[in-house]
Amino acid sequence: MAAFRTHMPHGPWAVVAGASEGLGAAWVEALARRGLHVLAIGRRPKPLEETAQRLAAKHEVEVRTLAADLAEPGFADRLAAAGSGLEIGTAVYNAAFSFTGLLLDHPPQDAQRLVDVNVRGPLALIHQLVPAMVERRRGTVILMSSLAGNQGGPGLAAYAASKAFTTSLAESLHAELRPVGVDVLACVAGAVRTPGYAATVGRDAPGTLDPDQVVEAALAGLGRMALVTPGRTNKLAALVMRRVLPRATATAIMGRATKGFDAS
């Protein structure tokens, strides 16, 4: 974890968006364990508050909550108000929305919400928090992405496209902001054992990891690379799908893998 310790002076506070449970709660836990206070953001107030109270007591740090729908147009203003006066040196965007099945079988409102949460949300977070990091010449931004974004994803078309955006955004910002002391990382995760994944898929895919394994792999990559893919199986899958197979073949494989997903 030495790579992450170099980022500890980046401010006493961290922000985690999408923090109510699962992977987001694991992010809050990992940062609180390292002595950071956390502003935890989530859409559902009750599990968010339960997570905050449990981890604040366990790690003796302050964990504030902001119950907010990241798809709302006013999210950036609410984030600004909640973070006012806090020196925020670490920002994690873990929030995501997805639906499965053929794109045109869903109303356009589903795709719009996905864009709002998965695309507009991280941009709003970055514009709100990163300028102060640039001014201080230190900071860390972690964007949670997905192997689904490495190629087309029939049955997950909009989600896969949004995660391709996330990965590219992180790579670009890593190059833009590293010279001014701000480190940006995309964690390109495979399947993670979260309540949402269990409800949608219902079974472990090859390479499925626990949330804490994903978080620790991301933290270990800070300061060394723009992209981290946690897990040996997932690293191999990413290599094969991105570098070895033709993209049409990789897309067809993804289509077969998502056929059994429950519609949501």
Q: Which residues are catalytic?
A: 159, 163
Residue 162: exposure state from Cβ atoms within 10 A (0-12, 13-18, ≥19): buried
Q: Give the number of other CB atoms < 10 A from CB of residue 262.
A: 10
Nearest to 200 by CA among 262, 146, 259, 110: 262
CB within 8 Å of 12: residues ≥ 6 apart = 36, 37, 87, 89
Calculate ∠ Cα 140-177-164, nearest 5°.
80
